[in-house]
Structure 1
């Protein structure tokens, strides 16, 4: 079911205009009415701020009066504006369809005062107003509006969110909440008295750009390519010749495939540490080039008045590139062994405990081999056999081997005395994850450095 949610505003100050969306127009005095006609939602929900209409008592006691007051406000304005009975009936039908939900606002203003019947009270050529002032946590408002969206989402598979009206706080909160659901965001940019026509702007791509950029940043911070948003497919549709003096920059941006970044994250997440070292080398020049090009592109956008060809372009999202550039934090320099040590620290930081403890087990062997002139991880290599035996002896002084076995074998390990009987598994010597986690985050690096220093002091 398609649903429309909008923030109720002061319709008494609105005037008719032609609202246009998807090539169709409708003349009315507020955007929600136009959207209801042009997009045909099956359900309409108005979020009525408690700052718009007040009565004498608390919101809880006056709820029905406030809702009736808002509906009456729309009908009063309709009767003032329209002589056409068909148009009045159309507004009446809209009012009968809307489900009004009163929401808290914050700040100061002038609310309309309604009587016990929910009617506005005339005062001269205007209507009676009452001072409004409220201090509330914006998170409280967030939770209230979220609860409404969450309830509606159970029956609405598509939510159209109209952000045309509402205070800055309510618009920000509603946009943030809507982004957590399957929402389409629209707004009619009416500035001052409206002209003959206003095109309703679809803001959905803006919200998507924000969410994708956050996902890219998160994927890099958590070293998990599964959150990365691959924007390369969109860039392939760019036509560099349309960007005049920026043609070469657009060509280079278009060719910058983020799969190199995705590949590094994937290798790191899956424990391919040596492959990751190579990937870091490949990425260093890639990121430097990308940053230079994106900085030039960003400068062009900051001087937008000189680059009109960008005005209707929605495939370029600067934040995608700048989020990608943050992978530089995962590009380590020095020799391969030193980079692997930094990867060990990274695994501990992001909570890849099985990868961390496995690398801590094998890396001292690599340093041992290096100190002896080199060698191959193979039982037929004399240096390797000696180094592995030495490392194993020193590792017995720590918990590395024991905890590694538990993590790598899914707890089906001698170290926890896993007993299988009649289809059930019992752990005779159960060691909890918190114990292993505390060890890895607090002691693993020290134990690793101890083993490494000892093996490098040994002689052939």
Structure 2
């Protein structure tokens, strides 16, 4: 089901306009009515700010009066603007279809006063107004609007959100809430004079770009490529030749495949620490070049008046690139062993407990091999056998090995004394994930350093 949600505005001063959207037009005096005609949603919800209409103290019992007052406001303006009975009937049908929800606003203003029948009262050839002043938490407003969207999401496959009217606070909050659902965002630009044609602008790509950029940043912070948005797909059809003197720069930007970054994140998440070191080496010059090119592109956008060919381009999203550049935070310098130690710190930081414990167990062996002139992780290699024995004997009674077994075996471990009987599994040990988590965060690095020191001490004997 397609649903339309809009923020109710003060229609008393609106004039008829030709609203155009997706190649179709409709003449009316507010965008929500036009969208209802052009898109034919099955449900229409009006978010009515409590700052728009008021009745006495506007208690909960007055909600039906406020809702009727808003509907009467639309009807009054319709009767003032239209002589055509068919058009008046169309507005009435729209009013009968809308589901009005009262939402909280914030700030100061003048609300329209309605009587107990929901009628706007005239006063000196104008409508009677009442002072409005509220100070509220924006999060409170967010929660109210979220609850409405959450309810709608259970029946609406798509929510079209009209952001044309409403205070800056309500528009911002509604946009933020809608971004958490399957929403399409539209808004009609402010018109300068009655009767002028206005094209309703689709803002959905702006919200998507924001969400994708946040996802890219999050994927790097949490070292998980599954959150990364591969924007190279949207750049494939980009024609650098359309950008005239910027052709070479756009060509370079287009060729910057983020899969190098995705590959690093994937290697790290899956515990391929050594491969991750190689990925970091590959990324060093890539990120430097990307940042240099994007900085030039960003400067061009800031001076957009010199480059008119940027105006209609929607495949380039600067924040995608700058979010990608944040991968530099997890590209480490040093020799391979030094970088692996920093990766161990990274695993601890992001909570990859199994990867952290496994690397902490094996890395001292690598330091040992390096100190003995080198060697291969193989039982056929004498240096490896000697180094592994030193590490294993030192860790014999350490929690590191026990916790690693628990994590690596999916809890089907002798350390948890897992008992299988009658298709059920019971764990007889008291080792909980929280215990392992506390160990990794608080003690793993200490145990790793002690193991490494013991290896070096044994070699120097």
Q: Normalising by the residue count of structure 2, what TM-score does the alignment of the two structures yield?
A: 0.98
Counterpart Cα distance in 2 of 1:118 and 1:252: 62
Superposition map of 1:244-393 within 5 A: 244-393=244-393
In 1, are the aligned partners of 2:232 and 2:254 still within 8 Å (CA)?
yes
Counterpart Cα distance in 2 of 1:15 and 1:453: 80
2:410 paired with 1:398: no
Deviation at residue 421 of structure 1 after TM alignment: 3.2
Over 3 Å counting, the alpha-carbon distance change for 1:334 and 1:32 in structure 2 is same
Identify the residue that residue 233 of structure 2 maps to in structure 1.
233
In 2, are the aligned partners of 1:50 and 1:59 still within 8 Å (CA)?
no
Over 3 Å counting, the alpha-carbon distance change for 1:194 and 1:347 in structure 2 is farther
Summarize deviations over 1:292-324 as a string: whole Å, max 9, x none. Answer: 010000000000111110100100000000000
Counterpart Cα distance in 2 of 1:192 and 1:144: 33
Identify the residue that residue 151 of structure 1 maps to in structure 2.
151
Deviation at residue 192 of structure 1 after TM alignment: 4.1
Q: Normalising by the residue count of structure 1, what TM-score does the alignment of the two structures yield?
A: 0.98
Identify the residue that residue 46 of structure 2 maps to in structure 1.
46
Deviation at residue 191 of structure 1 after TM alignment: 4.3
Counterpart Cα distance in 1 of 2:168 and 2:262: 37
Identify the residue that residue 112 of structure 2 maps to in structure 1.
112
SS of 2:420's equivalent? strand
Identify the residue that residue 8 of structure 2 maps to in structure 1.
8
In 1, are the aligned partners of 2:369 and 2:375 still within 8 Å (CA)?
yes
Superposition map of 1:185-204 within 5 A: 185-194=185-194, 196-204=196-204
Identify the residue that residue 206 of structure 2 maps to in structure 1.
206
Gapped regions of structure 2 (runs ≥ 5): none
Superposition map of 1:83-162 within 5 A: 83-162=83-162
Counterpart Cα distance in 1 of 2:82 and 2:124: 22
Counterpart Cα distance in 2 of 1:85 and 1:427: 76
Summarize deviations over 1:376-414 as a string: whole Å, max 9, x none. Answer: 001110000000000111112521111111111122222
Counterpart Cα distance in 1 of 2:425 and 2:127: 76
Identify the residue that residue 62 of structure 1 maps to in structure 2.
62
Q: Aligned-residue CA RMSD in angstroms?
A: 1.1
Counterpart Cα distance in 2 of 1:207 and 1:73: 32
Counterpart Cα distance in 2 of 1:284 and 1:430: 45
Gapped regions of structure 1 (runs ≥ 5): none
Summarize deviations over 1:225-278 as a string: whole Å, max 9, x none. Answer: 000000001101100010011111100010000001001000000000000000
How many residue pairs get aligned? The number is: 460
